[in-house]
Amino acid sequence: MTDQLTAPSAERPGAAAPPSWWRDAVIYQIYPRSFADSDGDGIGDLPGIRGRLPYLRDLGVNAVWLSPFYASPQADAGYDVADYRTVDPMFGTLADARGLIGDAHDLGLRVIVDLVPNHSSDQHEWFRRALAEGPGSPMRARYHFRPGRGAGGELPPNDWPSIFGGPAWTRTTDPDGTPGDWYLHLFAPQQPDFNWDHPAVADEFRTILRFWLDLGVDGFRIDVAHGLVKAQGLPDLGATTEWHLLDVGVSPCFDRDGVHDIYRSWRRILDEYPGERIAVAEAWAPTLDRVANYVRPDELHQAFNFSYLGTAWEVAAQRRVIDESLEAMRRVGAPATWTLSNHDVVRHTTRLLQADEGDVAGRKPAEVDPVAGLRRARAATLLLLALPGSAYLYQGEELGLPEVVDLPPEVRQDPAFHRATGQDGYRDGCRVPIPWSGEQAPYGFGPAGGPSWLPQPESWARLSVAAQQGDPASTLELYRAALALRRADAALGAADNLRWCEAPEGLLVFERGSALRCTVNMTDRPIRIPRPGEALLTSGPVGLSEAEVEIPADTTVWWSV
Ligand code: GLC
């Protein structure tokens, strides 16, 4: 069974299997609650995803990464896991997960699932027992329980803030009703941090990895991969500034060297399985060299490139981050990865036009001119898909969906929004359900007339899959065309063969392989250059003559040269 599930049909014996499929893979992130709702409860689910897999095959991606669908009270949209081996009934059953993996493989798509090892839900059996059994319970040693400071223990054990606002500690009540110890949660209070110094925690996660590998998954996305190990003694941070989602540097709780032993042990497990099972780290580290540590040859396979995601739309800055990314990954033999959007950041259709586009982490997004935003996003995507390595796309970006900036507070579910009294935690705006078809909400996301867990804007009727399909000017067809060209040209993927070319100011120009040149106008005015060759694909209309081309503002062109 394992063999059948792990070898996508295009690569079954008989067809020559390309080595290291992941080195140039385009991986599409599915946020299950917002992708497709099969049962009309307003929340997407696994059968909904299963029904839409042919769409993803036709889009031309190589793999999907699914955000968590495990049993969870949903305090942080599933990143609070109560049982790592079951599917939440809201999303379906384990049989649905098995069926989804099988269907995906039959369509030639790999499946990566999210693993959340930094913390569990407060409804996880271990944590419930830790609370119920009181101080001294062996279960408490699997988390970080500490007495408080101050005469009556009324102050948190140290000064660490939660990423979601407020202190990273919550005080417990002892079984006899008196105030007790505190426990650590770098995120919401419903997400207690595991103590990774405890052998039972490490054992448990090795078993969880095997459980999903046996079920046939092709890999894992490791949530908060930089957070598992804390400094001995949990020393004060001494910082007075507020933390925001994951944008912290070296600290007593992030990017500690000890995390790498964990990933070495996981790599040994992944390597036991056939078919190149992989892991990708969500590791926020202060430098690209620190990020590269996670993808040394005996550790994980890929790490998200948040430096790239946070870089301004400007030639010098882009060139620098691309060079630094390629160089850092080359040193450890890992492919670079590129991504512009995910479920935690402002959608790039909106973000790249914001004055502070480097500020990606859940702060309040501003409304931008939708036409200009989409033009720049399309140009950015064609640039991204021309870079060497692996690309991560986030559901809905292929439709050019903008960030929804005007969700009313009462529908918002990001826990940070509520903890920070509305000052932060704007991640719901990129999580609004996908419009598939029709003139009215929920636009085919679920059954007609049904709800969707977040309201979709009226303007999304014209952004639906059905509205864009077959329209060569649509963003959906642009993505399809780019992915088809990428698949057809091996030089566009893995090979680390980017060459910068001389170019007038404001134009980013590089070549890949022997025949592809990418020109990106990053200014707000047209730039005229000698025509480099035959235009293969453009992110917007360009003015072509025999000898020259005028590339409009915020436009990318792929040329065959
Ligand atoms: C990761 C997830 C984010 C979640 C956090 C806590 O950053 O991407 O959505 O809130 O971890 O699990």
In this model, does residue 247 exceed pLDDT 80?
no
Residue with the larger pLDDT of the pair 393 and 285: 393
* 367-388 pLDDT, tens digit each: 899 999 999 999 999 999 999 9
Whole-number pLDDT of residue 242: 57
Across the range 57-75, mean pLDDT stands at 98
Atom number in ligand 1 closest to CA 343 = 9
- How far apart are the C-alpha atoms of 44 and 36, rounded to whole Å? 5
Nearest to 386 by CA among 99, 136, 51, 26: 26
Atom number in ligand 1 closest to CA 416 = 10
- How far apart are the C-alpha atoms of 30 and 353, rounded to whole Å? 25
In this model, does residue 366 exceed pLDDT 90?
no
Could you tell me the pLDDT band of residue 157, with boundaries at 50, 70 and 90?
very high
* 427-466 pLDDT, tens digit each: 999 999 999 999 999 999 999 988 999 999 999 999 999 9
In this model, does residue 495 exceed pLDDT 90?
no
Please tell me the distance between residue 224's alpha carbon and the centre of ligand 1 in angstroms: 7
Whole-number pLDDT of residue 243: 56
Across the range 287-309, mean pLDDT stands at 96
For the Cβ of 187 lying below 6 angstroms from any atom of ligand 1, the answer is yes
Across the range 327-346, mean pLDDT stands at 96
For the Cβ of 510 lying below 6 angstroms from any atom of ligand 1, the answer is no
Tell me, yes or no, if 96 is annotated catalytic: no
Nearest to 405 by CA among 440, 353, 447, 442: 353
Please tell me the distance between residue 312's alpha carbon and the centre of ligand 1 in angstroms: 23
Instruction: Output the DSSP codes for 472-500.
Output: TTSHHHHHHHHHHHHHH-GGGSS----EE
State the alpha helices, DSSP H only, in 216-300. Answer: 259-272, 288-292
For the Cβ of 76 lying below 6 angstroms from any atom of ligand 1, the answer is yes
For the Cβ of 398 lying below 6 angstroms from any atom of ligand 1, the answer is no
Could you tell me the pLDDT band of residue 6, with boundaries at 50, 70 and 90?
very low
Atom number in ligand 1 closest to CA 116 = 12
Nearest to 388 by CA among 25, 138, 92: 25
Across the range 4-11, mean pLDDT stands at 39
Across the range 282-303, mean pLDDT stands at 95
In this model, does residue 472 exceed pLDDT 90?
yes
For the Cβ of 345 lying below 6 angstroms from any atom of ligand 1, the answer is no
Cα dihedral 484, 485, 487, 493, rounded to 10, equals -140
* 419-428 pLDDT, tens digit each: 866 667 889 9
Please tell me the total number of residues recorded for the chain in this structure. Answer: 561
* 35-54 pLDDT, tens digit each: 999 999 999 999 999 999 99
Could you tell me the pLDDT band of residue 217, with boundaries at 50, 70 and 90?
very high
- How far apart are the C-alpha atoms of 492 and 515, rounded to whole Å? 10
For the Cβ of 114 lying below 6 angstroms from any atom of ligand 1, the answer is no
Atom number in ligand 1 closest to CA 245 = 7
Question: Helix or strand or coil: residue 531?
Answer: coil
In this model, does residue 364 exceed pLDDT 90?
no
pTM of the entire predicted model: 0.95
Looking up tokens 């959906």, which residue turns up? 476
- Residue % of the chain over a pLDDT of 70: 92
For the Cβ of 223 lying below 6 angstroms from any atom of ligand 1, the answer is yes
Tell me, yes or no, if 272 is annotated catalytic: yes
Could you tell me the pLDDT band of residue 354, with boundaries at 50, 70 and 90?
confident
Residue with the larger pLDDT of the pair 266 and 166: 266
Nearest to 292 by CA among 259, 334, 355: 334
Looking up tokens 């804007």, which residue turns up? 457
Closest C-alpha to ligand 1, atom 7:
224
Which listed residue (24, 37, 96, 223) is catalytic?
Answer: 223
Please tell me the distance between residue 471's alpha carbon and the centre of ligand 1 in angstroms: 36
